[in-house]
Amino acid sequence: MVDEFRAAFQELIDASVATDPHQFPPAVHKVYLLAPHIPTAERELALEALTPLLAGDHAAPGVIADLAVVAGALVEMGTDPGPAGPEILHLLRTMGNGAIAFLRAWEHTGPQPPPDPDTVTADAEARVATRLGHDAPAATMCWWTIRRHGLATKSMLSQPEVRSHIRRDPSLHAQLVAITNQLSHHLTEFDEVRTLLRMAEATSALVMDRTSKRAFRVLFDGIGDNFQLHTLLADALIGPHGQGLPGPAPDPRWVAAYRTEPADPQAPTVRGWWNLVAHDGSWIWNEGLPAEIPTIDGEHVLILDQQPYPRSWRAHRRHPQVHGWLEVESELDTEEALLWWKRVAPAQTLASTDDPAEPPLPEPVLLHTDETEQAPPAGDSAPDQPSPEPAPPHKTHQSDPRPTPHDPADLDAAPQHPDRHTPQERPSPGPALPPLPPGVSQSKGWGPTWR
């Protein structure tokens, strides 16, 4: 079977270089059929062989977009991204800039929303040509292929080694965040790419417990939101198996769901432990991202305060394909901790949670089978209330589960810390293969119908 896979992959490469729409589709389907049944090392060699095609000008834009999707699919099967991972990121930068040029030209030439990338026509190219001139064909081609590049990038950024690479290249990271900020307004799939890029920005924090006055430095990766951070902090800090902070230990099923496992329908609802607060006294909402936690001297500082009201949320990872972890690197000694406490805002006076009029905890919520939230999670809201309890005057973070994209000009996308931990080994992938997106491996996908 290995020889059969090698032959199919060679057919794929030959058809790509020759721009042969008749040989490419069967070669792709053979690769998809055989890849799950061969050793990982063989898939890694195949992915490495794709990298020169992704990096060079040996194939047409539509071919390269299809090959990027094939590379992403191999990674989702458990193949190490290798050099193809960074190359996919560079491709998104190039094609993303062209797609944004198309968008800007489109917006300057009329009020209509831009066409779906899969349905671009000659009329669309003619319209942006009034603004872009001779650059219109290239920009329109970028818009036509951008969804496929986004799909491949999402697969690559789901891997810790690719996120590690982008942390070492702040310029590339900042450019991709700016690109995805703009594209996500028109193509919702780029919102996930954007949050995966933001995931790469924060890999450590100083966590300070107000009650005990203890402080810890924690390392983490694969944390998609502060719901996940909150729960994994409880697992690392509470009780004798952690750092001895008081409180009920989290259900192991919640922890598993936030690390590597699917959500357990028998344990869907997490009960919160703390009110997360920034060093300036502003509240850190669970719906936010670790990268948004304010910093002191470049270090994210998170204070654990008493909850003003009970909180609960659904135990599931925002990015199910990404495995998360968190561990305590060290505890600050008493003297160093006291110096940090002098740099943070004092505790705020909160209403007692022992008030008998306090509403009860909500009933467990039902799990959705799809990954997309149909409504904002109940996590940071008190029971039976439409929105979070009014925040103190310092509140700066919104409770929207999908934070409002930042203006690229205002974005400080450089990572706060270099890597200080080797990510855990990636667990074995599941048997399911990602489906080919519309247009991939079809002859019409090899060149725009309008050209």
Q: What's the pLDDT at 18?
A: 83
CA atoms within 13 A on the CB side of 340: 27
Is residue 286 domain-shared with residue 354, that is, in the same domain?
Answer: yes
Name the pLDDT band for 220 (thresholds 50, 70, 90): very high
Look-up: residue for tokens 């061969």? 38
- The yes-or-no verdict on residue 64 having pLDDT over 70 is yes
Give the total number of structural domains in the chain. Answer: 2
Strand 269-271 with 312-314, pairing: antiparallel
- The yes-or-no verdict on residue 355 having pLDDT over 50 is no
Buried b (16+ CB within 10 A) or exposed e, 23-56: ebbebbebbbebbeebeeebbbebbeebbebbee
Q: Mention every residue, 6+ apart, whose C-beta is less than 8 A from residue 30.
A: 4, 5, 8, 11
Strand 312-314 with 299-305, pairing: unpaired
> What mean pLDDT, rounded, does the chain reach?
81
Q: Which of 17-21, 56-60, 76-80 has the highest average model confidence (pLDDT)? A: 76-80
Top-confidence residue, 165 or 28: 165
Among 7-21, 91-105, 141-155, the least confident range: 7-21
Tens digits of residue pLDDT in 174-203: 999 999 999 999 999 899 999 999 999 999
User: For residue 268, what are the domain limits?
Assistant: 204-368+379-409
In a domain, 425, yes or no: no
Q: What's the pLDDT at 448?
A: 55
CA atoms within 13 A on the CB side of 33: 11
Q: What's the pLDDT at 67?
A: 93
Is residue 182 domain-shared with residue 210, that is, in the same domain?
Answer: no
Is residue 212 domain-shared with residue 291, that is, in the same domain?
Answer: yes
Are the CB atoms for 257 and 263 separated by under 8 Å? yes
- Average pLDDT value for residue range 240-245: 91
Top-confidence residue, 259 or 434: 259
In a domain, 229, yes or no: yes
In a domain, 426, yes or no: no
Is residue 235 domain-shared with residue 354, that is, in the same domain?
Answer: yes
Q: Which two tokens stand for residue 357?
A: 């009029």
- Average pLDDT value for residue range 90-95: 96
Say what percent of the chain tops pLDDT 70.
77
Is residue 125 domain-shared with residue 255, that is, in the same domain?
Answer: no
Segments in 78-225 forming alpha helices (H): 84-108, 122-132, 136-157, 160-167, 170-183, 189-199
Is residue 291 domain-shared with residue 313, that is, in the same domain?
Answer: yes
Is residue 276 domain-shared with residue 387, that is, in the same domain?
Answer: yes
Is residue 128 domain-shared with residue 9, that is, in the same domain?
Answer: yes
Is residue 128 domain-shared with residue 195, that is, in the same domain?
Answer: yes
In a domain, 424, yes or no: no
Buried b (16+ CB within 10 A) or exposed e, 406-424: beeeeeebebbbebeeebe
Name the pLDDT band for 62 (thresholds 50, 70, 90): confident
In a domain, 88, yes or no: yes
Is residue 230 domain-shared with residue 146, that is, in the same domain?
Answer: no
Tens digits of residue pLDDT in 300-311: 999 999 999 999
* CA–CA separation, 354 and 186 (whole Å): 47
Among 28-37, 169-178, 196-205, the least confident range: 28-37
Is residue 270 domain-shared with residue 146, that is, in the same domain?
Answer: no
- The yes-or-no verdict on residue 331 having pLDDT over 50 is yes
Compute the radius of gyration of the chain from its Cα atoms. Answer: 24
Name the pLDDT band for 349 (thresholds 50, 70, 90): low
Is residue 341 domain-shared with residue 237, that is, in the same domain?
Answer: yes
* CA–CA separation, 327 and 127 (whole Å): 54
